[in-house]
Structure 1
Amino acid sequence: MKKKIGLVPKLIMGIIAGILIGSYAPPIIVQVLVTAATLFSAFLKFVIPFIIIGFVTAGIADLATGAGKLLGVTTGIAYGSTIIAGLGAFTVASIIFPSFIDPSVASKIGNPEAGMLPPIFTIPLEAMVDVTAAIVFAFMLGLGISGLRNHGKGEHLYGMAMEFQEIVTKTLSTIIIPLLPIYIAGTFANITYAGQVWNILNIFWRVYLIVIPLHLIYLVCQFATAGAISGKNPFKMLKNQIPGYLTAVGTQSSAATIPVNVDCAEKNGTSKQIREFVVPLCATIHLSGSIISVTSFAVAVLMMNGMPHGLQVMLPFILMLGIAMVAAPGAPGGAIMSALPFLPMIGIPSDGGLASLMIALYLTQDSFGTAANVSGDNAIAVIVDHLNKKWTKKEDSKRAA
């Protein structure tokens, strides 16, 4: 039986193949690969609005199934945690990245897309709806379905939203993700041909050394907060979380980790009702690890190109990502795919060399981001469980009085 090669090894092979082709192959070979990457990029741009509609509509519509107050509190904590993680990553990046991405490095790199070879031909494939319209439509439809379901209606629309999300997920898993190594190879071949690849890689290996420890530090902060609120030992809870973390690293899937994560929540003393509600919900809406990665890579790319990267640029981007990535963990690479349409908010085109560079960088560490996402879910479960017990006690006291 043949052993299946995972996505990360394929991406690394794509990067290496692209560098070798860009360094040694004749320009026509590079152009053929660039043409394939350009055609893929056009298809990706076409699919992006549907990714937004599929993920965000289904994610918001699904929030109708919670228990009122608990749903609101859990969603609020998850969103707040995601935004704090993004702002924390931005702060760390702003302080540390200038030590190895200074103006001289930015001027040396210049525009990574300058000097690249053009594709042999292109296909005029335009998106059926623009990104802004897709976002507005997804929110309108998702909130509408959620409201209808609270009144015992809208189940047909809900089913359609869920099935459309399955179509988008299938498109990602059978077309986009399998072809990503070719896209990445074409991008790196062109960057290498333009003479920029080593300058860029010299920066990003250092970014990795910051991003992955940042996941772990934020995880400790989440459990420390949960411990302070609930009175439980944060280190014991972190120890109980290890199986969930390792499962997520191995599977790169929030959904596949849910059963293990529910067991971890049980060891942390979270009640059955809360753990079976919060863990699956947060696997969909809590993306602290993903936003740390996306924010860090975005700041690095902006610095490399000498582009504005202050809080006034990044804050709207981070706030939007916290919403746009809802339900993205349901698909391979869903978080970075959901982030692509919003890169223009900070000056990075959603297609082309810089976007594919961000995709490659994100996906090669995706397992660690996913592990940080799902592990943080149990910190939220502990907090919600504590609040729920407090509210229940208060209600019981009122009834007794």
Structure 2
Amino acid sequence: MDKKKFKLGLLPKLIIAIIIGILFGQFLPEWFCRIVVTASKIFSTFLSFVIPLMILAYVTMGIANLKNGAGKLLLITVIIAYGSTLLAGSASYFVAHNLFPSFMSPDALEQIAATAENSLETYFSLSIPPLLDTLSAVVLAFVLGLCLSTLRGKTIGDTLYNGISDFSGIIDKVLHSVIIPLLPLYICGTFTDMTKSGKTFAILGILWKVFLVVIIMHLICIVIQFIIAGAVSKKNPFTLIKNQIPGYATALGTQSSAATIPVNLQCAEADGVSEEIRNFVVPLCANIHMAGSMITITACATAVCLMNQLPISIATVVPFVMTLGIAMIASPGAPGGSIMTALPFLYMIFGAEAGDPSGPICAIMVALYITQDSFGTACNVSGDNAIGVIVDTIYQKFINKNPAKS
């Protein structure tokens, strides 16, 4: 028998990249560190070029594919999924805003502020202007997606849909073959620069506490979602949670909502969700329900703002969460997909200068998010099945006059 080839996951790679970056910055000469930072900067420039294209491809296809549902059920599912995502992000901000300041001593914040301008210069840089800005990409994606959802089945609709589908496949290939594999280089360069400038150790002293709080919020979110699902369906919520364990564990390992769909369908079957509903809700919610990711992104953004003494309030968080809840449609198919989609919108939290997708603050945001991505994905897929239980109950009681056995 052939032995399975060992493959190191993205999370271990990023942890190794952080460690290597710290070691480079701590022990190697400045000329070598500048080489690493130069390579990282070139990648960040390419990333800025790809991000609008990724938004255009993923959001267009995500909206266009929403036609694959049935009327009322589609509307109900989308409203519940979007509402869950918004509530999760808002709750995450309130917890982070009230709890995280206690983690951050004035001395640590002063140390971070004192090193804010101490960055290594690159040996050279490349200019790769994006084909369109991110706002234009979002608007164009909405226009194309909504039109395709109406035109599909007609000649022009099918032709354009197939073209966008091929384009989405190309961007997906770039994400899997270039962006995700080179993320460790990006993070390594960032932490090399941070270590040389003196930021790293003050920041790392804070991040482990943030990580712990975010994981606890994920678990609380899952429990609340299944308690609500249990109350609506009159099923034992703890049995529902027990049934979800295989899906949760699979999501932890794959870091992909899409890759977890087959296992999540089995979990939904164990919950007693009818076949027609679970086959509709689970794949749909894998693309539109991102409560766990929103918890992580909002908490990490709040932590980064506090560490860099950037202003943040509920007035800036709510529009950010509302925008991201739509923009992240179909982004969780690959590890890190949510934060890659969120990057161009971080200016809504960090401001125009600090929110530069290729800048050091956004790089810290990516590193902090990726270390918790698997837990956020596991929270996402668990909530998908809670929504499935709710939608199935509504379907059986109010829509389907002759309930089919699950």
User: TM-score when scaled to structure 1?
Assistant: 0.96
Q: Aligned AA for 2:18?
A: I
Q: Which residue of 1 aligns with 2:170?
A: 167
Q: Aligned AA for 2:321?
A: I
Q: Note if 1:50 corresponds to 2:28.
A: no
User: Aligned in 2, Cα 1:389/1:101: closer, same or farther, shift over 3 Å?
Assistant: same
Q: Note if 1:311 corresponds to 2:314.
A: yes
Q: 378, 390, 405: which one pairs with 1:383?
A: 390
Q: Which residue of 1 aligns with 2:374?
A: 367
CA distance in 1 between counterparts of 2:185 and 2:288 reads 30
Deviation at 1:103, TM superposition (A): 4.9
Q: Note if 1:358 corresponds to 2:365.
A: yes
Deviation at 1:113, TM superposition (A): 4.3
Deviation at 1:253, TM superposition (A): 1.6
1:214-229 alignment, distance < 5 Å: 214-229=217-232
Whether the 8 Å contact between 1:336 and 1:362 is mirrored in structure 2 is: yes
CA distance in 2 between counterparts of 1:288 and 1:150 reads 33
Q: 277, 294, 298: which one pairs with 2:301?
A: 298
Q: Aligned AA for 2:22?
A: I
Q: Aligned AA for 1:360?
A: A
Query: Pairwise CA RMSD of aligned residues?
Result: 1.5
Q: Deviations 1:135-166 (Å, cap 9, x if unpaired)?
A: 11011111111121377861222222222111
Q: Which residue of 1 aligns with 2:239?
A: 236
CA distance in 2 between counterparts of 1:224 and 1:102 reads 37
Whether the 8 Å contact between 1:253 and 1:330 is mirrored in structure 2 is: yes
Q: What secondary structure sits across from 1:77 in the alignment?
A: helix
Deviation at 1:15, TM superposition (A): 0.5
Q: Which moved more, 1:289-298 or 1:348-357?
A: 348-357
CA distance in 1 between counterparts of 2:153 and 2:368 reads 41
Whether the 8 Å contact between 1:112 and 1:353 is mirrored in structure 2 is: no
Q: Aligned AA for 1:280?
A: P
Q: What secondary structure sits across from 1:124 in the alignment?
A: coil
Whether the 8 Å contact between 1:82 and 1:322 is mirrored in structure 2 is: yes
Gaps of 5+ in 1: 397-401
CA distance in 1 between counterparts of 2:366 and 2:224 reads 28
Q: What secondary structure sits across from 1:254 in the alignment?
A: coil
Q: Note if 1:189 corresponds to 2:192.
A: yes
Q: Aligned AA for 1:222?
A: Q
Q: What secondary structure sits across from 1:154 in the alignment?
A: helix
User: TM-score when scaled to structure 2?
Assistant: 0.94
Q: Which residue of 2 aligns with 1:80?
A: 83
Q: Aligned AA for 2:366?
A: I
Q: Deviations 1:143-198 (Å, cap 9, x if unpaired)?
A: 11112137786122222222211111111110011111111111100000001100
Q: How many corresponding residue pairs? A: 395
Deviation at 1:52, TM superposition (A): 0.6
CA distance in 2 between counterparts of 1:72 and 1:21 reads 52
Q: 12, 16, 19: which one pairs with 1:16?
A: 19
Q: 286, 289, 293: which one pairs with 2:289?
A: 286
Deviation at 1:272, TM superposition (A): 0.7
1:69-108 alignment, distance < 5 Å: 69-101=72-104, 103-108=106-111
Percentage of pairs with the same residue: 53
Whether the 8 Å contact between 1:172 and 1:332 is mirrored in structure 2 is: no
Gaps of 5+ in 2: none
Q: 253, 265, 272: which one pairs with 1:269?
A: 272
CA distance in 2 between counterparts of 1:150 and 1:111 reads 60
Q: What secondary structure sits across from 2:260 in the alignment?
A: helix
Q: What secondary structure sits across from 1:33 in the alignment?
A: helix
Deviation at 1:367, TM superposition (A): 1.1
Q: Aligned AA for 1:54?
A: A
User: Aligned in 2, Cα 1:112/1:173: closer, same or farther, shift over 3 Å?
Assistant: farther
Q: Which residue of 2 aligns with 1:399?
A: none
Q: Which residue of 2 aligns with 1:67?
A: 70
Whether the 8 Å contact between 2:63 and 2:142 is mirrored in structure 1 is: yes
Whether the 8 Å contact between 2:335 and 2:373 is mirrored in structure 1 is: no
Q: Deviations 1:24-60 (Å, cap 9, x if unpaired)?
A: 1111001000100110010000001001101100000
CA distance in 2 between counterparts of 1:64 and 1:269 reads 25
Whether the 8 Å contact between 1:54 and 1:165 is mirrored in structure 2 is: yes
Q: What secondary structure sits across from 2:126 in the alignment?
A: coil
Whether the 8 Å contact between 2:344 and 2:357 is mirrored in structure 1 is: yes
Deviation at 1:108, TM superposition (A): 2.5
Q: Which residue of 2 aligns with 1:325?
A: 328
